[in-house]
């Protein structure tokens, strides 16, 4: 089960897990994107809104079993400082990133445990392990996801469910920065300008699949993955052209 599977990391993860032999449920809000994904690889497309409890419960009820859950649905909206914060944007980030993760995990946990070796992979961000100006809303949401993952691992200790956090750094996907910057393509492109080899969605999907396919006794608590050009949130190598 992969949430946020209509594009970017979610779509790449659905493709990769299908290639690994999983029966993949690819869930997201945009049915047309899901149908296109299902046409290119063997996944089951299901419309899901993680901010809607009824939608989450309907999906959970439609599944007989669940061995792997990838909590990927989320996003960043805006770069305003706290002084001029957009409350609606903050609420949207909290609803999708944090409460969405909670709703889906809560709904599928009985099936994950019943599988005998359930795996919950939550895609957070290096923003969940550091802060930067203009990022308070997003970093707060991602720090919360990290805290939920760590707490869940404690709560499930002794039960047959592994809890994994994958925290990517700079990933160049078609929509992340564009959504964050209100559709401004030029500003979105500038985020990755001059960066040699930012991560791709496939790079992150590779990490997710690796963590999910470890033996039953191996738990990858936290996997931080950045491109070589990014040494830290603030330290990014950019090449210039004359």
| Cβ atoms of residues 195 and 170 within 8 Å | yes
Cα-Cα-Cα-Cα dihedral sign, residues 173, 179, 183, 185: negative
Q: For every residue of 106-144, which 3-state class applies, written as one string?
A: HHHHHHHHHCCCEEEEEECCHHHCCCCCCCHHHHHHHHH
User: Cβ(128)–Cβ(80) under 8 Å?
Assistant: no
Other residues' Cβ atoms within 10 Å of the Cβ of residue 222: 15
For this structure, is 138 an active site residue?
Answer: yes
Which residue of the set 22, 132, 138, 234 is catalytic?
Answer: 138
Alpha carbon distance 111, 38 (integer Å): 24
Checking phi first, is residue 196 left (phi over 0); if not, alpha (psi -120 to 50) or beta? beta
Known catalytic residues are: 138
């Amino acid at each position: 089960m992969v949430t946020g599977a209509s594009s970017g990391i979610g779509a790449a993860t659905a493709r990769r897990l299908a290639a690994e032999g999983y029966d993949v449920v690819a869930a997201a809000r945009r049915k047309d994107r899901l149908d296109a994904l299902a046409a290119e690889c063997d996944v089951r497309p299901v419309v899901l809104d993680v901010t809607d409890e009824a939608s989450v419960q309907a999906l959970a009820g439609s599944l007989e079993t669940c061995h792997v859950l990838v909590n990927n649905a989320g996003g960043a909206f805006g770069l305003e400082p706290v002084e001029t914060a957009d409350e609606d944007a903050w609420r949207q980030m909290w609803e999708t990133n944090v409460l969405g993760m909670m709703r889906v995990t809560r709904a599928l946990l009985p099936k994950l445990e019943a599988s005998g070796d359930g795996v919950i992979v939550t895609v957070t961000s290096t923003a969940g392990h550091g802060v930067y100006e203009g990022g308070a809303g997003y970093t707060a949401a991602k720090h919360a996801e990290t805290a939920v993952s760590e707490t869940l691992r404690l709560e499930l200790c002794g039960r047959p469910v592994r809890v994994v956090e994958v925290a990517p750094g700079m990933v160049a996907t078609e929509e992340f920065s564009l959504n964050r910057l209100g559709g401004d393509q030029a500003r979105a492109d500038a985020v990755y300008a001059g960066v040699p080899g930012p991560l791709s969605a496939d790079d992150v999907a590779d990490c997710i699949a690796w963590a999910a396919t470890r033996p039953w006794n191996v738990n990858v608590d936290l996997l931080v993955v950045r491109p070589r050009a990014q040494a830290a949130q603030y330290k990014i190598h950019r090449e210039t052209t004359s």
